[in-house]
Every structure is written in C-alpha cells, then in structure tokens.
C-alpha cells in the first residue's frame, strides 16, 4: 500500500474501507441479479432486454473490480466470502423469481436507484477528503445513472409498443 498515498486521506481509512466493502458486496449481488436475469427473462423485446442486462452485469463486475483494487490499495481486505455480501450489503438482492420482462426490469431499476443513493452518499463523504476514491465513486455513479435511464427507456418503449 502507498504510504504517502494513504497519508493524504483526510478521514478514517478503516471507516472508508468498510464503506467500500459494503459497495463491493452490492456490486457482486447486482452483477448476479443482472447475470441471472439475462438467463431467465421472457417476454416482449426479449433479445434487446437480454443484451442490456448482460451489458449492465459486465459493468457491475467491473465496478466490483474497481472497489476491490482501491480497498487493497488502502491496505484493507475485500470481503472474503459470499456470506459476507449478504451481511454488509446496502441494496440487497432481489431474486428474479418471476421471469416476466417487466418484473425483471422493475427489480433492476429499484437496484439502480439504491446504487445511485449509495454512490451519491459516498461522494459527499469523500469530497475534499480522498480525491482518488471520490473520482472513482463519481465514475461509478455516472454508470448507475446511465443504467437506471437505460432500463426506464426499455419500459417506456414497451408501453409505446402496447399503445401501437
Ligand atoms: Fe455498479
Ligand atoms: Fe448499475
Ligand atoms: Mg446500458
């Protein structure tokens, strides 16, 4: 871990690591929710929705990687077991038990709204304290905002198709 790099952090590093681990747990659960959703989804616009879900799954996994790398850089340990994901998650896991396309998209929109809140809070906490993690949180926040927007657009298109 970078000694000088960690000295410039204007907050308790162990508290920061705890928050990053909570977000890491969220990202793994979001990854699996999207990944599995893409496998089981049925209904209107199935191909387009599947492609979007897979794209978002890839993004969540990439976010998990960014968080784990930063945690390690800070001298922390990324959550070591899947059991811990459940214990520390902010946003939880909503199983795609109903494969209907609208239901799956709605579940993931709820997840994105939670993620947006998490990264918004993290950014506020990190501003003027840790520029590196702050930038990372903003980058992830922008992706989550895009995810929510993409999913809302799918619902909008489905409604337009219905109206003809
Ligand atoms: Fe994410
Ligand atoms: Fe997302
Ligand atoms: Mg997208």
Smallest-distance ligand from the CA of 27? 1
pTM for the model: 0.96
Q: Let me know: does 42 contact 101? Beta carbons within 8 Å.
A: yes
Cα–Cα distance, 115 to 122 (Å, whole number): 10
Provide the residue ranges of all domains of the chain, joining segments of one domain with +.
12-163
Instruction: Look at residue 32 and tell me whether its pLDDT is greater than 70.
Output: yes
Radius of gyration for the alpha carbons in the chain, expressed in angstroms and rounded: 17
Q: What is the pLDDT of residue 20?
A: 98
pLDDT of residue 135: 98
The span from the CA of 65 to the CA of 36, in Å, is: 19
CA–CA distance, 153 with 164 (Å, rounded to integer): 16
Q: Give residue 40 CA to ligand 3 midpoint distance, Å.
A: 18
What is the model's pLDDT at position 161? 79
Q: Which residues surround ligand 3, an ion (CB under 5 A)?
A: 55, 150
Q: Which pLDDT score is estimated for 94?
A: 98
CA of 136 to the centre of ligand 1 (A): 11
Q: Please give the DSSP secondary-structure letter assigned to residue 108.
A: H
Q: What mean pLDDT comes out for the span 117-136?
A: 97
Cβ count within 10 A of residue 71: 22
Q: Is the pLDDT of residue 17 over 70?
A: yes
CATH match of 12-163 with 1.20.1260.10: yes
Tell me what pLDDT residue 131 has: 96
Q: Give the model's pLDDT for residue 163.
A: 79
Annotated binding residues for Fe cation, written as ranges, equal 27, 63, 112, 144, 147
Q: What distance in Å separates the CA atoms of residue 132 and residue 138, rounded to the nearest whole number? A: 10
Residue 27 pLDDT class (50, 70, 90 cuts): very high
**What span, in angstroms and rounded, lies between the C-alpha atoms of 72 and 76?**
5
pLDDT digits (tens, 9 = 90+) for 56-74: 999 999 999 999 999 999 9
Per-residue pLDDT at 1 exceeds 70? no
Please give the angle made by the CA atoms of 136, 143 and 102, to the nearest 5 degrees: 150
């Amino acid at each position: 871990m970078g000694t000088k790099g960690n000295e410039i952090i204007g907050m308790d590093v162990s508290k920061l690591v705890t928050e990053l681990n909570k977000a890491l747990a969220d990202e793994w659960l979001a990854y699996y929710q999207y990944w599995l959703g893409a496998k089981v989804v049925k209904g209107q616009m199935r191909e387009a929705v599947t492609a979007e879900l897979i794209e978002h799954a890839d993004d969540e996994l990439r976010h998990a990687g960014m968080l784990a790398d930063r945690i390690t850089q800070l001298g922390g340990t990324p959550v070591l077991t899947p059991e811990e994901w459940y214990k520390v998650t902010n946003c939880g896991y909503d199983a795609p038990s109903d494969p209907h396309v609208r239901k799956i998209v709605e579940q993931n929109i709820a997840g994105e709204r939670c993620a947006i809140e998490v990264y918004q809070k993290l950014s506020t906490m990190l501003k003027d304290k840790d520029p590196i993690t702050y930038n990372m949180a903003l980058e992830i926040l922008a992706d989550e905002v895009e995810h929510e927007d993409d999913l809302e657009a799918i619902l909008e298109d489905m409604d337009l198709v219905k109206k003809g």
